[in-house]
Amino acid sequence: MANIKPYTIAVDDRRLEDLKTRLSLAKFPDELDEAGWDMGAPLADVKRLVKYWQESHNWRKAEEELNILPQFVADIQCDGFEPLTIHFVHVRSQVQGAIPLLFIHGWPGHFEEVSKILKPLTEGGDGVKYPAFDVVAPSLPNFGFSEGPKKRGFAMEQYAETMNKLMLKLGYNEYVTQGGDWGRHISRTLAHLYPKYCKATHLNYDTSNPPEFLKNPLLALEHAVKPYNSRERHGASRSKWFEQEGRGYNLEQSTKPQTLGYALADSPVACLAWIYEKLHDWTDTYPWTDDEICTWVSIYWFSTAGPAASVRIYYETTHNVDGRKGKIDTQKMREWTPGVKLGFSHFPMDLQVLPSTWVRTQGNVVFEKEHDSGGHFAAWERPDDLVADVREMFGKGGGAFGVVKGRTGYTS
């Protein structure tokens, strides 16, 4: 296929040496007594991780493990922007008629999140008992080993355009998506802009408006008279915590990403602390190892566009810098999308955990599953649950079975 080339991660030795030097010169702040996690990442944790990153973490070993994933790059150009080299993982199933699935990460995630669900979906799906999938997992523009634009205005429309053009370049004229965080937002944008190609989306992130009697009378009535279940009651508390105590990063990245970028680009300690806080707060007591954390953050530190570029997506989504009509913003993404089937996996320690009646205002919801554990990074924290949900939604008897023409995921 034109312009598609194999890719191997190979960070230059000088960048590794620079990282070690910067870590060795780290200057840490003090910390109030018994602050714990209340005020952010604890000093003892950050010091331990910095020491481990500098002295013990083996990036070459991590790089070797990452390179087991079949990786490629392709040039994609959005209308009005320069061409970008986009990095992606791509595995085709041996099953003829496997379902093309576009896995879209968010922030502070990256393409590595797909690694735990890749084999179960492509190889574990035998086309007899379970549906098989072809999986494409890109690094979004400005993330991982993809390039980033130099022109302002690269917003939801462009991220969706990039994803859609990549799938078409790979020969997938119809496909489904899976995502949380920005993966959810981009999936919703694909549903709005490219319903001819994007036929269904499975989401593990709840973002929606409450049903309104003028727009969603039956859902509004159900919401008004039906008591919340235990998941929804707990979800209200979790969502309130995020709005009051966990959302500060979002405001900064949505308003002054350049100012924050100086710290992210210059200081690996700042980059580590900024991301590590989210890995801790947004998961459900997931037992992160120091190696996992350092590899995760290293992908940001060694990224092609640099770690500062990754936070611009917040600003560009919340600002209409080029005055475009019908801009896809947060509210637009929540509007009903006819013809594109939706599925939701609800995890109790995600950032927003909303009632079922809320998420059903966005489209034809054909799958919902409530889980009693798990947080924001479902593919990493609860890969088995996520795989089972995707299989159920797209498998025989599922609400999105056969949604891609000629590709049911089964041999017969």
The per-residue pLDDT for range 264-279, each reduced to its tens digit, is 999 999 999 999 999 9
Structure confidence at residue 1 (pLDDT) = 55
- Residue 209: both structure tokens together: 């408006």
Other CB atoms closer than 10 Å to residue 339's CB: what's the count? 12
Confidence of residue 170 (pLDDT cuts 50, 70, 90): very high
CA–CA separation, 339 and 191 (whole Å): 8
**What is the average pLDDT across 273-300?**
98
**What is the average pLDDT across 295-308?**
98
Looking only at the bridges linking them, the beta strands covering 337-346 and 198-203 are parallel
pTM of the shown model:
0.97
317-327 pLDDT, tens digit per residue, is 999 999 999 99
Name the average pLDDT for the chain: 97
CA–CA separation, 78 and 24 (whole Å): 41
Closest CA to 250 of 172, 324, 311: 311
119-166 pLDDT, tens digit per residue, is 999 998 788 999 999 999 999 999 999 999 999 999 999 999 999 999
Closest CA to 108 of 297, 263, 337, 244: 297
Q: What residues contact residue 388 under an 8 Å CB cut-off, 6+ apart?
A: none
Phi–psi pair at 118, nearest 5 degrees: -65, -55
